[in-house]
Amino acid sequence: MSRTVVITGATSGIGRAAAREFAGRGDRLVLAARSPATLAEVRQECRSAGAEVLVVPTDITEPGAVDELARAAVAEFGGIDVWVHTAAVAAYGRFDELPERVFERVVRVDLIAAAAVARVALRHYRSASAGTLILTGSVLGHITSPYMSGYVAAKWGLQGLARTLQQEARETPGVHVCLVNPGSVDTPVYRQAANYLGRIGRPPPPITTPERVARAIVHGADRPRREISVGRLNVVMRFGFTVLPGLYDVLVGPLMRVAGLSNQPVAPHDGIAFTPNPAGEAVRGGWLPDLSRVVRSVGGATSTVGSAVLRRLR
């Protein structure tokens, strides 16, 4: 049976991949983010997959904006069955060098606005006695890393909020709250992040795809669970952080500098913290090799080597 699915953060990365995944299943979609032009592109992608789509340009930090979004969804489709919240921003920088306004904006978008989304969704579900809210946390809601203080603080807060909401939702059978915690994902978030560190961030390996996280989200909508972790090293990192904190702290700084930061220099900037950057929005971030290109170049190299060997044999 098709459902009405609201996605906040639908123009890029995991949210955009989730929109495509739900569209392919015939669900009705209400897509929100700040950039109207990119929302129109995603609407086209999802319509091509056969879905009915409403787009509602929304800044989730604006007072009343999330209520307006829910009202638009109900007016168009009669209700909301699933709300997937992926909208977030990140910022790189030493805590003492990151402007206070940037730190506060990251916490505002990633925690306070996520709470606003949860409040609106859960009020709607409570009156309907049914519905699933899927929040997107991070493995950084369980562990910590230097140079991402605002993001880490917000994701730890979101983890606590989600667990509290799950306990309260026990009073309303039919209402579910699910937290999806990805590890490293190949999305634009790293280049779109505010940066006061001087080097562009990158996803440390192993890197997974936004499509894989999107499938986990759809699975969570089908069979809600308390937490869905997506990332091969998530468990190992959580174990190290909890059981061997001294060793973890010795290793995490050098590992972050080697694997979590690229060598590309960058001047200080606010990224998409305050305003969207449609030019930087896409499903993938370009950190994983394009498989079709790899296959083509491996194929090309193989045929070149093969021809050279044949020439020698002749």
Ligand X SMILES: NC(=O)c1ccc[n+]([C@@H]2O[C@H](COP(=O)([O-])OP(=O)(O)OC[C@H]3O[C@@H](n4cnc5c(N)ncnc54)[C@H](OP(=O)(O)O)[C@@H]3O)[C@@H](O)[C@H]2O)c1
Binder of ligand X out of 60, 116, 221, 237 (CB under 6 A)? 60
CB of 1 to ligand X, least distance (A): 27
CB of 302 to ligand X, least distance (A): 33
Task: Considering the complex, state which of residue 4 and residue 86 has its C-beta at the smaller distance from ligand X.
Answer: 86
Determine if 14 is a binding residue for ligand X (CB under 6 A).
yes
Task: Considering the complex, state which of residue 4 and residue 234 has its C-beta at the smaller distance from ligand X.
Answer: 234
Task: Report the C-alpha gap between 77 and 268 in whole angstroms.
Answer: 43
Task: Considering the complex, state which of residue 129 and residue 275 has its C-beta at the smaller distance from ligand X.
Answer: 275
Task: Report the C-alpha gap between 221 and 55 in whole angstroms.
Answer: 20
CB of 78 to ligand X, least distance (A): 24
Binder of ligand X out of 25, 45, 49, 61 (CB under 6 A)? 61
Among residues 159, 177, 74, 34, the alpha carbon closest in space to that of 119 is found at 177
Binding residues for ligand X, how many (CB under 6 A)? 32
Among residues 15, 183, 189, the alpha carbon closest in space to that of 91 is found at 189
Among residues 42, 211, 259, 229, the alpha carbon closest in space to that of 56 is found at 42
The two tokens of residue 24 are 């392919």
- List beta partners, residue 277: none
Determine if 86 is a binding residue for ligand X (CB under 6 A).
yes
The two tokens of residue 88 are 């977030």
Binder of ligand X out of 4, 9, 46, 220 (CB under 6 A)? 9
Determine if 161 is a binding residue for ligand X (CB under 6 A).
no
CB of 287 to ligand X, least distance (A): 9
Q: Is 6 helix (H, G, I), strand (E, B) or coil?
A: strand
Determine if 195 is a binding residue for ligand X (CB under 6 A).
no
Binding piece for ligand X, criterion CB under 6 A, among 27-35, 168-176, 233-241, 260-268:
27-35
Determine if 56 is a binding residue for ligand X (CB under 6 A).
no
Determine if 184 is a binding residue for ligand X (CB under 6 A).
yes
Determine if 109 is a binding residue for ligand X (CB under 6 A).
yes
User: At residue 50, what are phi and psi to the nearest 5 degrees?
Assistant: 100, 10
Task: Considering the complex, state which of residue 15 and residue 131 has its C-beta at the smaller distance from ligand X.
Answer: 15
Task: Report the C-alpha gap between 236 and 143 in whole angstroms.
Answer: 11
Q: Which residues are CB-neighbours of 123 under 8 A, at least 6 positions away?
A: none
Binding piece for ligand X, criterion CB under 6 A, among 7-15, 43-51, 220-228, 248-256:
7-15
Binder of ligand X out of 5, 46, 51, 58 (CB under 6 A)? 58
DSSP type of residue 10? T
Binder of ligand X out of 150, 182, 204, 224 (CB under 6 A)? 182
Determine if 209 is a binding residue for ligand X (CB under 6 A).
no
Whole-number CA gyration radius for the chain: 21
Task: Report the C-alpha gap between 119 and 153 in whole angstroms.
Answer: 20
Q: Which residues are CB-neighbours of 6 under 8 A, at least 6 positions away?
A: 29, 30, 32, 69, 70, 73, 80, 82, 83, 84, 121
Binder of ligand X out of 132, 192, 195, 234 (CB under 6 A)? 192
Q: Do residues 226 and 173 lie in contact, with contact meaning Cβ atoms separated by under 8 Å?
A: no
Q: Point out which residues bind ligand X (CB under 6 A).
A: 9-15, 33-35, 38, 58-61, 86-89, 109, 136, 138, 182, 184-185, 187-189, 192, 203, 272, 276
